[in-house]
Amino acid sequence: MKKTWEVFCCFVIWFSSQDVLSKASHQFPQSRFYSTQHGLSQASIYDIEEDSNGYIWFATQLGINRFDGYEFVSFGQKTEDGNGLSGSYVFDLEIDPNKGDLYVGNINGLDVLEQQSGQFRHIYLDSSKSGNEQYIVRKIKFDAENNLWIGSSKGLFYRPVGSSEFKKITNEQTPYNVYDLGFDKKGNVWATTKSGLLKFDKQNFNKPPTVLLANKNVSTLFIDSEQKLWVGTNGYGLFKYNINDQQPILIENISTHNGLVDSIVNDIHQMSDGSIWIATADGASIFTDPNDLLDSTVFKSNENIEVDEGINHHNIRSLLESKNGVIFFGTIDSGVGVIDPGKTLIKSLEFKNRDSIYFVTSGNNGEIWASGTSGVWKVNSDLSIEGPFQYANNGGNNLAQNKLTAVYYSKLDGTLWVASKLGLSKLNEETQLLETLPFKSVPIYTLTEDELGMLWIGSYDNGLFYYDPKNNDVILNIDTPLVTEILSLDKEQTWVATIGGLYLVNSVTKHFEHFSHDPDDPSSLPHNVITWISEISPGNYFLGTQGKGLWHMRYDESMKAPIFEQLFADSAISKSSIGGVIKGSDNGYWVASSRGLSRINESFTLIDHYSQNDGVSIGGYYIARPAENEAGLLFFAGVNSFNYFDPMTINTSTDFPALELTKIKTLSLESEDDIYDAKKAPLKELPNDYELVLEPNNLMVTIEFTSLEYGSPKSIQYAYKLKGFDNRWQYVDSISRSVLFTNLLPGHYELEIKNTNRHGVWATKANVLSIVVKTPWWKTTEFIFLSVILFFVFTYLIYRWRTYNLHQQAIALNSLVDSKTKDLKHANEQLRILTVKDSLTQLMNRRGFTERSNQEFEKYQRDKNAFCICLFDIDKFKNINDTYGHSIGDNVLVEVANTVKSSVRGCDVVARWGGEEFIVLFPNVDLSKANDIAERVRLSVSSLELVVKGIKISPTISGGIASIEKFNSLDECINCADDLLYKAKDLGRNRVCL
């Protein structure tokens, strides 16, 4: 049963490890990392940018990468076709806010990826040095007036809006190496250099810049929403200035001594919640309140990344918050990380030694009791933790005993019942120790209490027990498979879920019913491994299965068997394993499954899904009861995790990720064509009124799509339907993301595609792509109209010519018609007789009998007048042929045929079936009457004494009879008669079997 425990009862939901936070003031879900093994061209991320369509772009040492949440598309240095970057080592990216073009700063200067053409174009900062320009562009930025500013290795440049020429701000004698740029509301331009922070007067560039932090290597800057200037340095920490006054005023210098995680600052970003993120060489410092620099949170990714020894993947180089609130952080050596801080909804408690929790139960005083690998834990209403409560030292067994399975708090007398693989125990309130009870040596998985204070105990391999703890009396023991859950309804009725079906037990009569899955009965139990059962209302239950999702079961005493209906069959939960269900204070039903956590509304019409990005346990959930405390908090137990949350505070996002078409490809006999490919036009989006026109020779069209969801891309589901072809929704998961249609008929279609958000909520509005399949030229209206006219003209000419000829021939033919008609009628009659009559016996042949019997079968189907089929065979006829020759055998066949014909009724149909076999159809008789007639035939034949050419022969026959009433077809009836004929042969011949 050890294997059963591991496979069926301890299923868990696996996720990646969580991030480490130094303080609890800013909680995040775990980050996901993407590196070269996921498709990123190179692992050093220097900048991150989001384009107008919602795609994310990364600057690396090997070009730029576009990301849609699922896959990366790389763009490197110029290829043979001339399209590409002028240099692959990229430092900065910037989107033109008006045109949507992507500007790229690299080791060889400035490039732009144009949205409309999808082509890269190199831009010279100094037109006088075209072709010989040697600039490293490190920063690109548009100001509020849409002027373009460039920070380079040769100084500061800017291009006024509407102009194509750049102007240089710094002169040749003082070529500052500019790393970052910023603009304040006073019109000043701020630039970071290795020699300090520069402030340029935008109205007077001839004026020398003001220098702050002289001789310090200033790496980055940011001007926040309150016009405070944040300045990051390389080795000197972070500086914050008030620049609202005439002269900048230093507010604070923050270093590793007073809260900054590292003194090397790489990037600064203000998030939508107002917090300031400082990217450093050893993680990020987060200031939730930008005005309180003494309160910061340190963020470091704890992801297990395959990196070379010595590489620090906490070295964050760049930051970006996407439009939907997801934070990207690029590292120096380890790729890019993704976190979704706004989606942390579900919290967790950590026990000493990271103890694994199996079962939870609520007490009478607002506390929660939990069983784990180290004993029993008590979670107080203020979420403080006491324990573990363990067994007293009793030799070598205490370690095994302290590893508990189930726990149940009695609401009747306050007893805390505890179960383990070694038996039953309870907590002694005075000694605070677990006491072993006489009910032991039974490995227990689950237990519960009924209204009488009796315990229902479900074991691993000893079945189900109904136990009186006061008198130490086992009242009932039923041999069941491993018990996963017990639901006591009242003093008599109890539902028991097992890995071998569902049991309904009556503790008074000791009678039980067992319901199991029958593959041939769709109304039976949906699966034999039942992981959960709980009551919704009298006669209505939740039923959890392994791998078959959640079901609604209806059953009361008036019903012969339960009725099962799967809940949300079109959602991801339909193929999940269910761990437990509990109703929260929000009136929603919370379901733990292999999908994560889901919430079903009270009317069972909506379902929301919550995953690792929402804080769902990374260790997973056991098949075990969740619990609720007096404050309305829900608790779910899992491996290395203990989740809790207030359901009233869980608000499902109604935002939906953008749904984009990424590729349209057609296939014909001649070629394979890309109609649209977002990889080749990465910034260009199909217009809303785009119409896909397919040629008649297009045999197949493939359409690929994606959702720009970065927080939880794998949780997105898709559905599509092609109106005009099939109006039913077809569902695909996040891996497929494509549809394929073949051999569409000419006409107009509308392809509708919709997606869910990360919580499984379907978008109410679908993306629509109009598709027109052209009509082949030979099917066009014009061609058909012209063809019809030509046809009628040609037909008329032929008609006139044929009319003349036919008139001449009619006179000659008429004379022949009369003479030939009589001959033809006679010949047809002779032919008809030959086709249905046996030439030797003059009986019907097989064909004639088949036609006649089919008529009788149609009458039977219409009027239900039954008939019987009898097959006769002359016994040992081969011996007659072999002994006396075929001519005598033919005489015997004729005599037997005549005898059969004369021995049956006039309405009976007799035919030679083949060889020495005869078949008779007896209309309007049952088997008994048919047998009487067949016996008369048999006796008549057996009484024959034939003398043929002086030879005396006494033939006999055997027969088999079948009634059509027992069969669905004539062939089945004849086959049965044939089988009975052989049976008569086997029984000694000269007899009839029915």
Show the 3-state SS of 212-267: ECCCCCEEEEEECCCCEEEEEEECCCEEEEECCCCCCEEEEEECHHHCCCCCEEEE
pLDDT at position 760 over 90: no
- Nearest CA to 202 out of 190, 180, 187 is that of 187
pLDDT of residue 342: 59
pLDDT of residue 894: 92
What's the whole-number mean pLDDT along residues 491-507?
95
pLDDT in tens, 781-820: 888 889 899 989 998 888 888 888 888 887 877 777 777 7
Handedness of CA 850, 855, 856, 858 (dihedral sign): positive
pLDDT of residue 3: 37
What's the whole-number mean pLDDT along residues 478-504?
95
- Nearest CA to 846 out of 917, 899, 905 is that of 917
pLDDT in tens, 612-670: 767 776 655 667 789 999 999 999 987 667 889 999 988 776 788 899 999 999 998 88
Q: Which residue has the higher pLDDT, 684 or 749?
A: 749
What's the whole-number mean pLDDT along residues 70-79?
90
What type of residue sits at position 745? L
Cβ atoms 990, 956 nearer than 8 A: yes
Q: Which residue has the tokens 């199991």?
A: 516
pLDDT at position 91 over 60: yes
Give the β-pairing of 691-694 and 767-773. Answer: parallel
pLDDT of residue 22: 31
The secondary structure of 740-760, three-state, reads EEECCCCEEEEEEEEEECCCC
Alpha helices in 737-876 (DSSP H): 781-836, 846-863
pLDDT of residue 18: 32
Give the β-pairing of 992-993 and 957-963. Answer: parallel
Cβ atoms 695, 668 nearer than 8 A: yes
- Nearest CA to 874 out of 887, 893, 891 is that of 893
pLDDT in tens, 17-32: 233 333 334 456 667 8
- Nearest CA to 54 out of 654, 660, 718, 655 is that of 660
Q: How many other CB atoms sit within 10 Å of the CB of residue 8?
A: 20
**How would DSSP label each residue in 577-601?**
PEEEEEE-TTSPEEEEETTEEEEE-
Instruction: Kindly indicate the confidence band of residue 6, based on its pLDDT and cuts at 50, 70 and 90.
Output: very low
pLDDT of residue 761: 84
Q: How many other CB atoms sit within 10 Å of the CB of residue 950?
A: 5
pLDDT of residue 57: 96
pLDDT at position 309 over 50: no
Phi, psi of 785 (to 5 degrees): -65, -45
Residues in the chain: 994
Instruction: Kindly indicate the confidence band of residue 913, based on its pLDDT and cuts at 50, 70 and 90.
Output: very high
Instruction: Kindly indicate the confidence band of residue 127, based on its pLDDT and cuts at 50, 70 and 90.
Output: confident
Q: Which residue has the tokens 């194509």?
A: 164
Alpha-carbon distance of 585 to 603, in angstroms, equals: 15
Q: Which residue has the higher pLDDT, 507 or 611?
A: 507
Give how far the C-alpha of residue 325 lies from the chain's centroid of Cα atoms, to the nearest Å.
Answer: 25
pLDDT at position 4 over 70: no
pLDDT of residue 28: 61
412-447 exposure pattern, b = at least 16 Cβ within 10 A, e = fewer = eeebbbbbbbbbbbbbeeeeeebebbebeebbbbbb
pLDDT of residue 687: 85
State the average pLDDT for the chain.
Answer: 87
Q: Which residue has the higher pLDDT, 621 or 118?
A: 118
pLDDT in tens, 184-207: 988 899 999 999 999 988 777 778
pLDDT in tens, 410-457: 999 999 999 988 889 999 988 999 888 888 789 999 999 999 999 999
pLDDT at position 690 over 50: yes
- Bridge partners for 85 per DSSP: 77
Cβ atoms 194, 223 nearer than 8 A: no
Backbone dihedral region for residue 109 (phi beyond 0: left; psi -120 to 50: alpha; all else: beta): left
- 448: tokens are 């519960």
Alpha-carbon distance of 694 to 665, in angstroms, equals: 10
H/E segment holding residue 77:
none
pLDDT of residue 511: 95
Alpha-carbon distance of 274 to 21, in angstroms, equals: 19
Q: Which residue has the higher pLDDT, 304 or 64?
A: 64
Per-residue DSSP letter, 29: P
Least confident of 381-390, 574-583, 804-813: 804-813
What percent of the chain lies above the pLDDT cut of 90? 55
pLDDT at position 212 over 50: yes
**How would DSSP label each residue in 433-466?**
EEEEEEEESS-EEEEEE-TTS-EEEEESSS-EEE
pLDDT of residue 958: 95
pLDDT in tens, 811-847: 877 777 777 777 777 766 667 777 788 889 989 999 9
pLDDT at position 544 over 90: yes
What's the whole-number mean pLDDT along residues 902-911?
93
pLDDT of residue 7: 36
Instruction: Kindly indicate the confidence band of residue 133, based on its pLDDT and cuts at 50, 70 and 90.
Output: confident
pLDDT in tens, 502-539: 999 999 999 999 999 999 999 999 999 999 999 999 99
pLDDT at position 551 over 90: yes
Instruction: Give the CA angle between residues 713, 718, 719 to the nearest 5°.
Output: 175
pLDDT of residue 71: 93
